[in-house]
Every structure is written in C-alpha cells, then in structure tokens.
Amino acid sequence: MLHQNYSYKIDPITNPIQGEVTISGAKNSVLPIICASLLNSHSTELSNVPHLNDVSILLELLKSIDITTQHSIEKEHVAINGFVGDTKSVEIMSENTRKIRYSLLLMGALLGKGIKNIKINLPGGCTFSERPYEMHIDGFEQMGCEITQYPEYIKITVPTKLKATTIRLRFPSVGATENLILASCGVANGKTIIQNIAIEPEIIDLINYLKKLNINIDFIDQRTVKIDSSYKKSLVVAHKIIPDRIETISWVILGALSSQKGIVIKNIEIEHLLAPLLELQKIGVFVTISQNSIYAKQTNLQTFSSLISEVYPMLGTDYLPLFAVLLSTTTGESTIKDTIYPNRFEYLDELSKMGLIYNQKEGISTIKGTTLYTSSHVKATDLRGGFATLLASILSKKETTIDNAYQIERGYANLIEKMQNIGITIRKVDII
C-alpha cells in the first residue's frame, strides 16, 4: 500500500521531453468491476489492472470479508476468488472504506449477491464536493430496502427480497448508476429498469463484465437499461480493463505544453476521447492520431476558449484542471464552468501560487493567458488538481515541491517511472 505522507520534488528540466508513454487500465473501471466480482461464486481474472493505491485498498476490503485475492503488480493482473455469500449479514467497518469513494459500491454488490443485512462505513475519496448518496439510497429503497443512516456508517436491511421496479435518476450519476445496476442483479423475479443513467465508458465496461455472468442487461434507449438477472450464473470470468481516458488526455496535454520533439501515448481507446480531443483541436493543440496511439507535441497556442463540463459524452469535469493549465498558456482570457461540481476550483488557488492569474464569479472561473509559471511549494488538492500542479511544475523549469502527492498517485499508475522515461525527474520525499 502506498505511503500517504509524502511530497513530490520535481527537478528542473534539463533534457528534451520526448519518448513513449503507455496508458494504464482505467481506475474508474477496475474499481467497480472489483466490487462486481462479489456477484461471482467462481473466480474472476482481471488484466490490465493499474498499480494504484485505491486498488490495493479495495482488495484489502474484500479480504476483510474473507474473499481471497492475488495481485500481481508486474503482470497487471488480479485474481479474485469467488464470494459464496451464504451469510445473511455482512459488516465492513474498516477504516479503509473512508479512503476511497468506490467502497460505496460494495453496498450494491452485496445486495446483488443476496445479502439482507449490510453495515458499512461511509466512503471517502476526493474532497471537492460532499458527493451526496441520496440517489443511491433512494434507489435501494425503491427496491425494497430499509435504510438507516448514521453519522459514520449506513445500515441496509432487506425485509423480504429485492423487488423489480422502475427507477429514474434525477441526474445521470456515475456512482448511482453503477450501484443500482449491481443491486438489480439480486432481484429474483422480474426486470429492473433504470432511467436517466450515466453512460461513461467505464459503466459500459462494468456492464460487459456482468454480461459474462449471463446477466441480461439491455439498453432500451441511450440512457435506460433493463436488468434481468434470472439467468445469471457463476463462472470463471476473464476480463480486460479498458484504458484510462483521463490519463490519456493528461499526457496529451503534457506533450502539448512541454515537448518540442513530441511524445507518443500508447494503448488508447480513441472512441472514449472524442469530446476532449475536439476541445484540444479548437485550442490549436497539435496531435496525430493512429488506431491505438496519439502523438502530441508542443504547440504555440494563439487562441482562447470557453469550457463547460457536462455529462458524458460531453467534456467531463475531470478534464477541467488539466485544461486550466493549458488555457493559461494561450493568449487572451479563457473561461471554465464546472456544472457537475461547481466548487471544484480549489486547485486554481494552488496554481496562483505559481503565477496563475484568475478570478471566479458565479461558478465561472476566468483564466488569464500567457502565464509564466515559477517554482513554488504547493499541494495536490485532489487527484486531477494534483496533476494540474504537476504540469505547472514542469513548465516552471525549476525545482517545485508538491505536498499531498498521494492524491496524484490515486489515479496515475507508475507515474514516476513514466515521467522518467520521457525525461522528467520526480523524487518522492517522505514527510516525517
């Protein structure tokens, strides 16, 4: 498990930034699928698994309920023994649940397995929003669950059995979509319909895994699914995790900002990247796209842009901190509006310590261009905001220190090694 009390020191860039980067498996795909493996009484074999702290924490949570796992970091492989689930009650009160928000999906997976009494600590993760769980809870209640919420944990009881119903999400939440799909797998008779769902590639990857258990999941329209678990089976399942689309764009932007000779980003899924690539094209970023790779090089950006985050397939909220650094190097002023997490702008305060000039009004941040970043001592406010400070540190060309660096490694596997391969030296310094 990765040490959480350390900083990054980014050395001055003395050599050209160039080379290749191979994209790891998607964090937001592997974690829900690890939770979904609870539905399987036989083994699940996952490949292209990223080496991330959140993966290690979630596997530890599975071990706490006597599920045996094997994790080969070198082979990017995880084997999860089947969960028999012959008990009526499961408690997961480990402190590890507070470290990752995806621990919340264990509720849906346990309900899908047929567990009738669940007690679990509230989850954690990035802290830029309160991440309300009402949609998850409302959906569970519509399926017949009795929910009691305490300050530190949630208790779920199924008095008889889960019932088939139609649930409409008030917002296409990724987490609620995943949790309710997993819980629907525990409906013994009938079909569950979930409307206004999120349709991110990671959700499609989860659905593809569930289909390997012979769970019938069909799209009625673009944002409506029907789940019929009558024919589900326990099978030995092998599944390859999709590439991480947010990591892909992170390296593309790094290349556009700092690599005169260019970097090649390999192991990508181009269909998952259409919205951010379109925005990069509007700004003037130079990229060459092939079937499974992108070549990106430093570009003199002469334009500004106005970005708005929306639900997939539009530009997602996780891209905005990365784009903020890119936009700060253009001419003129650019604006960013986050409609998903309106308060997710704490990272701009850290960038301002390095020279960024911005102002914020009514949920819209205005970023001044032609920023010349200088070295500083900053912190990673969250996962993507942390990578944004890392981008600015590379541009400063002097030693910069980033505290809370564990936040960055929550979503970027083998980051220091990948940086080293293209000419960027990052030292990890433990804080005593």
Pairing of strands 263-266, 293-297: antiparallel
What does the block give as tokens for 373?
């970043």
Per the DSSP assignment, residues forming a β-bridge with 239 are: 46
Task: Return contacts of 71-75, CB within 8 angstroms, 24+ apart.
Answer: none
The yes-or-no answer on residue 35 being catalytic is no
Among 35, 126, 145, 185, the active-site one is: 126
Is 194:227 a contact under the CB 8 Å cutoff? yes
**Helix, strand, coil % in the chain, rounded to nearest 5:** 35, 25, 40
**Radius of gyration in angstroms for the set of CA atoms belonging to the chain, rounded to a whole number:** 22
What does the block give as tokens for 44?
């699940």
Pairing of strands 333-338, 306-309: parallel
Pairing of strands 19-22, 263-266: parallel
What does the block give as tokens for 96?
């590890």
Helix orientation angle between 27-36 and 105-113, rounded to the nearest 10 degrees:
30
Is 23:254 a contact under the CB 8 Å cutoff? no
Return the closest-CA partner of residue 46 out of 234, 199, 236. 236
Q: How far apart are CA 320 and CA 337, in angstroms?
A: 9
Q: How far apart are CA 261 and CA 258, in angstroms?
A: 9
CA angle 235, 226, 181 (to 5 degrees): 60
- Residues marked active site are found at 126
